Amino acid sequence: MYSQNPVFIPGPTNMPEVVRKACDMPTIDHRSPAFARLFKPAVAGVKRVLKMGEGEVIILPSTGTGGWEAAISNTLSPGDTVLAARFGMFSHRWIDMCQRHGLKVQIIETPWGQGAPIAAIEAALKADKTGTIKAVLATHNETATGVRSDIAGIRRAMDAAGHDALLLVDGVSSIGSMPFDMAGWGVDIAVAGSQKGFMLPAGLAILGVSPKAIAAMDTATLPRTFFDFRDMLRSYAAGGYPYTPAVGLIAGLARAIEVLEDEGLDNVYARHHRLAEGVRRAVAAWGMTPCAVSPDLYSDTITAVVVPEGCNGTDLVKLAAEKYDVAFGVGLGEVAGKVFRIGHLGMLTDVMVLSGLAAAEMCMADLGWNIRLGSGVAAAQEYYRGSARAMALAAE
């Protein structure tokens, strides 16, 4: 028997049946008009989800990490300086990648649990009188800590400093689940992956690229071939790819965006907020706290739950997998063992989330943690009952 339990990891996420079926298709020639017909709606849909203005969507056979590499290698040159805050495993890994590519990273060390430090970013940009900083890197949703940063605030800081750097944003665990406004926030490259908000298997890096970032390709000299946007854009103009695209995933992407838009993007975001709020009520009822240090930073896609002294979050994740066949996320890096993570993004409902909370409680009880079975579930139930009613009334 294979389990039909939903997963509560922050990606890959649960897949709607229609999206799975859309990925499952017969072979087609990727140089045929049939491919172009399938590709165009996917690109147009991504533009709407990102709220892009002018610019291009690039869809690479890769993952979010490849999207980071594509973003930096197409716009920067060896020795260039980039500015980045480090406040979790994902912001750390992007910084590490930049260093391995021969970029200088001006790092603003920020405690894990906090978000991108806007004032420090503004100060660093103001101090950069000669325009040494070529790009500001921002992790919109730090999946390790469950912290959402204020990208509009970073844009305001860049404008206040009158700085011309590119703004490159990792939206891998936010795009498609939380509001994203590429044009409004002046984002030059937004990076997403297929297996999070888009509810697909891993295998695509999905990027929105602004005209300014496209112009930067002409002078950027970091080595790139597979990820070179110039090859992609030349082939796009002819309706295809410079190599073999992941056709089934692209078909799935177009279908996934239909699913999101049938619900309505604003409703999708409101649902994620509700699901997250229910999880947070449960966490509070357990006497625990999110790793994110203040409510304005709470992520609506992932909650990293700080476990009590003497408890180990990784034990819970292991037990949940072994005994109940339920997947949660372990703590990463600095917070390994200190948190466990509940992913609540993608195809999820109130009822599914309640099952995850119930499974987490069983594990806590099994491990001898000091919680009462049903306490968190009840808190979430009360919240979901109330807010579901409010939603139904609003729809009337």
Positions touching ligand PLP (CB under 6 A) are 10-11, 63-65, 90, 139, 141, 143, 170, 172-173, 193, 202
The rounded distance, in Å, linking the Cα atoms of 261 and 48 is: 9
Q: Shortest distance, CB of residue 236 to ligand PLP, whole angstroms?
A: 22
Return the number of other C-beta atoms located less than 10 Å from residue 74's C-beta: 23
Q: Shortest distance, CB of residue 172 to ligand PLP, whole angstroms?
A: 4
- Return the residue matching tokens 């709470």: 298
Name the residue nearer to ligand PLP (CB basis): 202 or 362. Answer: 202
Burial class of 277 by CB neighbour count within 10 A (0 to 12, 13 to 18, 19+): middle
- Confirm if 161 and 127 have CB atoms less than 8 A apart: no
Q: Shortest distance, CB of residue 196 to ligand PLP, whole angstroms?
A: 6
Tokens representing 137 are 């890197």
Q: Shortest distance, CB of residue 337 to ligand PLP, whole angstroms?
A: 20
Q: Shortest distance, CB of residue 253 to ligand PLP, whole angstroms?
A: 14
For residue 207, report the phi and psi dihedrals to the nearest 5 degrees: -125, 140
- Confirm if 94 and 73 have CB atoms less than 8 A apart: no
Name the residue nearer to ligand PLP (CB basis): 177 or 210. Answer: 177
Name the residue nearer to ligand PLP (CB basis): 240 or 346. Answer: 346
Tokens representing 278 are 């229910």
Residues 23, 28, 33, 35, CA torsion sign: positive
166 membership: H or E segment, kind and range: strand 166-170
Name the residue nearer to ligand PLP (CB basis): 173 or 210. Answer: 173
Q: Shortest distance, CB of residue 269 to ligand PLP, whole angstroms?
A: 17
Name the residue nearer to ligand PLP (CB basis): 19 or 377. Answer: 19
- Confirm if 203 and 63 have CB atoms less than 8 A apart: yes
Name the residue nearer to ligand PLP (CB basis): 14 or 65. Answer: 65
Determine the residue with CB nearest ligand PLP: 64
